[in-house]
């Protein structure tokens, strides 16, 4: 499934999500519910940079929720992809995070299956020796 389809499913499933965007680690938008997805992705990248500056430990930031009086912003990072969404005020936080993670998982490109190594030709099975004729029992007579 591509990112655009994953976002379409997300907005259909989650009535709380107002807008969402998926972008990669270079800031390239791979899916958006908005026409101006690039601008939103840039703002979210700025937000992530500010959040990274706040962290105290070495562990990387994986997700965040910022609640304001107007609504909330959710961001989930997984590998090279990041999904961000906005909601109205007082969303169900756990549910929104769950839906975003599911959408991000769906948006991830599936790894190509490895080409199977050419099957080694089996040596031709030796021809079966013709079944030996059953020996006829000598007549009892």
Q: Which is nearer to another protein, 68 or 132 (CB)?
A: 68
Q: Which is nearer to another protein, 9 or 18 (CB)?
A: 18
What CA–CA distance (Å, rounded) separates 138 from 127?
31
Residues 81/30, Cβ–Cβ less than 8 Å = yes
Q: Which is nearer to another protein, 6 or 37 (CB)?
A: 37
The pairing of strands 17-23 and 72-78 is unpaired
Counting Cα atoms < 13 Å in the Cβ hemisphere of 64 gives 17
What CA–CA distance (Å, rounded) separates 27 from 22?
9
Q: Which is nearer to another protein, 3 or 141 (CB)?
A: 3
Chain positions contacting another protein, by CB under 8 A? 18-19, 33-36, 39-40, 43-44, 46-47, 50-51, 53-57, 59-73, 84, 86, 89-90, 93
The minimum distance between CB 60 and another protein, in angstroms, equals 5
The minimum distance between CB 99 and another protein, in angstroms, equals 16
The minimum distance between CB 111 and another protein, in angstroms, equals 22
Closest C-alpha to 83, from 109, 57, 63, 56: 63
């Amino acid at each position: 499934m591509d990112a655009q389809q994953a976002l379409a499913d997300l907005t259909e499933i989650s009535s709380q999500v107002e807008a969402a965007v998926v972008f990669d680690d270079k800031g390239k938008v791979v899916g958006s519910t908005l026409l101006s997805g690039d601008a939103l992705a840039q703002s979210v990248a700025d937000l992530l940079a500010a959040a990274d500056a706040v962290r105290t430990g070495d562990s990387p930031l994986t997700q965040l929720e910022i609640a304001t009086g107007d609504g909330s912003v959710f961001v989930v990072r997984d590998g090279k992809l990041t999904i961000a969404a906005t909601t109205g005020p007082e969303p169900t936080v756990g549910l929104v995070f769950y839906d975003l993670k599911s959408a991000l998982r769906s948006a991830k490109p599936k790894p190509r299956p490895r080409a199977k190594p050419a099957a080694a030709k089996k040596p031709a099975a030796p021809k079966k020796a013709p079944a030996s004729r059953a020996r006829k029992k000598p007549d009892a007579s």
